Amino acid sequence: MFGYVRPYVPDMRVRENEMYRAMYCGLCRSMGKCTGCASRLTLSYDFVFLAAVRTALEGCPVKLTLRRCGVHPLKKRPSVERNSALSYSAACAAVLNRAKLLDDINDSRGLKKLSRRLLMPEANHAEKLAMRFGVCRGGVYESLTALSELEKQGCPSADTVAEVFGELLGNVFSYGLEGASARIAKAVGMGVGKFIYIADAIEDREKDLASGNYNPFNLSPASDEALSSAVRLELGSAAAAAELIDFSACPEIGEIIRNILYEGMPKRADDIIDKCKNKKKGMHNDRSL
Amino acid sequence: MTDPYKVLGISPNATDDEVKKAYRELARKYHPDNYRDSDLADLAGEKMKEINEAYETIQAQRSGKKRGKTNFGGGTSTDPRFADIRSLINQRRYSEAEMRLVSMSNADRGAEWNFLKACVLAQRGHFFDAQKYIETACYLDPDNGEYQNMRAQMNARAGGYGSGYNTAYNTTNCDICTVCQTLWCRDCCCECMGGDLIRCC
Dihedral sign computed on CA atoms, order B45, B51, B57, B59 = negative
Q: Are A120 and A65 in contact (CB under 8 A)?
A: no
Task: Check residues A274 and A284 and name the one with the higher pLDDT.
Answer: A274
Given this model, what pLDDT does residue A224 score? 85
Report which secondary-structure segment, H or E, holds B54. helix B41-69
Which of A65, A75, A244 minimises the CB distance to B40?
A244
What is the CB neighbour count within 10 angstroms for residue A158? 21
Residue closest to A246 by CA, chosen among B130, B30, B158, B113:
B30
What are A66's strand-pairing partners?
Answer: A78
Name chain A contacts of B200, Cβ cutoff 8 Å: 76
Name chain B contacts of A76, Cβ cutoff 8 Å: 200-201
User: Are A237 and B169 in contact (CB < 8 Å)?
Assistant: no
Chain B residues at the A interface, defined by Cβ less than 8 Å, are 6, 29-30, 34-35, 37-40, 43-44, 47, 169-170, 175-178, 180-181, 200-201
Q: Are B101 and B113 in contact (CB under 8 A)?
A: yes
Measured between alpha carbons, how far is B178 from A15 in angstroms, rounded to an integer?
Answer: 8
Q: How many angstroms away from the CA of B87 is the closest CA of chain A?
A: 48
Q: What is the ipTM of this complex?
A: 0.71
Measured between alpha carbons, how far is B196 from B189 in angstroms, rounded to an integer?
Answer: 8
User: Are B177 and A241 in contact (CB < 8 Å)?
Assistant: no
Name chain B contacts of A65, Cβ cutoff 8 Å: 176
Question: For B49-80, what is each residue's pLDDT tens digit?
Answer: 999 999 999 988 888 765 544 445 555 666 77
Name B4's Cβ contacts closer than 8 Å, sequence gap at least 6.
B53, B54, B55, B57, B58, B61
> On the CB side of B44, how many CA atoms lie within 13 Å of its CA?
24
Residue closest to A249 by CA, chosen among A60, A19, A78, A84:
A60
> On the CB side of B21, how many CA atoms lie within 13 Å of its CA?
9
User: Are A237 and B38 in contact (CB < 8 Å)?
Assistant: yes
pLDDT band of A29, cuts 50, 70, 90: very high
Which of B30, B170, B180 minimises the CB distance to A243?
B30
What one-letter code names the amino acid at B37?
Answer: D
Name A170's Cβ contacts closer than 8 Å, sequence gap at least 6.
A185, A186, A187, A188, A189, A190, A193
Measured between alpha carbons, how far is A235 from A183 in angstroms, rounded to an integer?
Answer: 16
Mean of pLDDT values over A117-140? 89
Which of B6, B40, B170 minimises the CB distance to A183?
B40
Domain boundaries, chain A: 9-288
Share of chain A above pLDDT 70, in %: 97
User: Are B34 and A240 in contact (CB < 8 Å)?
Assistant: yes
What one-letter code names the amino acid at B199?
Answer: R
Name chain B contacts of A64, Cβ cutoff 8 Å: 175-177, 180
Question: For B119-148, what is each residue's pLDDT tens digit?
Answer: 888 777 777 778 888 888 888 888 888 888
Name chain A contacts of B169, Cβ cutoff 8 Å: 251, 255
**Does domain A9-288 match CATH 1.10.600?**
yes
Helix (H, G, I), strand (E, B) or coil at A79: strand
User: Are A187 and B169 in contact (CB < 8 Å)?
Assistant: no
Given this model, what pLDDT does residue B35 score? 86
Question: For A65-78, what is each residue's pLDDT tens digit?
Answer: 999 988 888 899 99
* Residue A51 pLDDT exceeds 60: yes
Q: For chains A and B, what is the number of CB pairs under 8 angstroms?
A: 49
Mutate which of A17, A23, A64 to disrupt the B interface (most B C-beta within 10 Å)?
Answer: A64
